[in-house]
């Protein structure tokens, strides 16, 4: 047997062993859940009342249901690189359609996170780079280009963090202007859309933007900077910030920048 064949065989064995370890962990997890609650899995099968659609990044460090204090089966999740929700993405749009029209969710959360590699790449990766990843993050580059002046006011990590927030707001705009959401609002559905950012440093969510149920006018946002207005008394409101804080003022400035360029009531009213 040649050296190359031996290497391939060794690599294949390692992959098999790794999968076997994961399956063993799954069995241990299943047994522990049943030990804690004999009806645990039967309960998951019976879950039909899902109130939250989460549109987030594929990053493994951002576990959707855990961040907002909900159990498996209580959050409908759409994840992709950079938490995008463009109108041309049939995956994201069909997920929104199913969540709104079939599951009848009451909340759509678009959540980004600081330290996002996709956003960092949109600032640093040349536009002519090969590969689907470079093509995928073009929407984030577009957001960068639309907000050049705002981004030039900061540098380094602060610039990256600002683009993370601007990207979330852009995706909120996309969700709110999607036909499914517009139709839900026209029909009088109580459906709120929220833009959040997750901090890997402390595990807290920051509210950038939220609609209070359906807008009062077609396409109009009701700005709510304080996280306390996300949903009063809801268990997944985890930022714990008080109105009027420095974070609120910064978030207000971010929202003003985006509204001035891309989120006017006239634009949002177009159907």
* Residues assigned a catalytic role: 57, 59, 61, 113, 116
Nearest to 84 by CA among 192, 168, 209: 168
- Inter-residue contact 147 to 253 (CB < 8 Å): no
In terms of C-beta distances under 8 Å and separation of at least 24 residues, what long-range contacts does 70-78 make, across chains too? 70/235, 70/236, 72/44, 73/43, 73/44, 73/47, 74/47, 74/50, 75/50, 76/50, 76/52, 76/103, 76/105, 77/53, 78/53, 78/54
Output the CA torsion sign for 100, 169, 219, 217.
positive
Distance (Å, whole) CA 65 – CA 26: 19
Nearest to 174 by CA among 82, 68, 49, 48: 82
Nearest to 92 by CA among 161, 181, 165: 181
**Tokens 């959707």 sit on residue:** 64
Distance (Å, whole) CA 144 – CA 164: 10
- What are the backbone angles phi and psi of residue 108, rounded to the nearest 5°? -115, 120
């Amino acid at each position: 047997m040649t050296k190359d064949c031996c290497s391939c065989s060794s690599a294949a064995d390692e992959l098999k062993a790794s999968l076997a370890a994961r399956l063993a962990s799954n069995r241990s997890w299943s047994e522990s859940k049943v030990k804690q609650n004999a009806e645990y899995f039967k309960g998951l099968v019976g879950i039909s009342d899902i109130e939250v659609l989460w549109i987030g990044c594929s990053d493994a460090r951002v576990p959707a249901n855990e961040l907002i204090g909900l159990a498996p089966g209580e959050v409908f999740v759409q994840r992709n690189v950079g938490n995008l929700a463009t109108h041309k993405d049939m995956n994201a749009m069909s997920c929104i359609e199913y969540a709104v029209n079939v599951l009848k969710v009451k909340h759509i959360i678009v959540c980004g996170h600081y330290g996002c590699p996709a956003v960092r790449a949109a600032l640093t990766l040349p536009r002519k780079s090969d590969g689907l990843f470079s093509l995928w993050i073009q929407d984030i580059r577009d957001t960068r280009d639309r907000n050049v002046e705002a981004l030039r006011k900061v540098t380094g990590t602060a610039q990256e963090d600002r683009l993370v927030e601007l990207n979330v707001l852009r995706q909120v705009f996309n969700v709110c202007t999607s036909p499914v959401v517009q139709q839900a609002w026209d029909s009088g559905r109580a459906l709120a859309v929220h833009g959040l950012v997750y901090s890997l440093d402390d595990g807290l969510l920051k509210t950038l933007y939220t609609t209070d149920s359906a807008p009062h006018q077609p396409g109009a946002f009701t700005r709510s900077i304080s996280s306390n207005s996300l949903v009063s008394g809801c268990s997944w409101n985890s930022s714990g910030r008080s109105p009027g804080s420095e974070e609120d003022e910064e978030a207000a400035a971010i929202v003003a920048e985006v509204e001035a360029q891309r989120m006017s009531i006239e634009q949002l009213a177009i159907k």
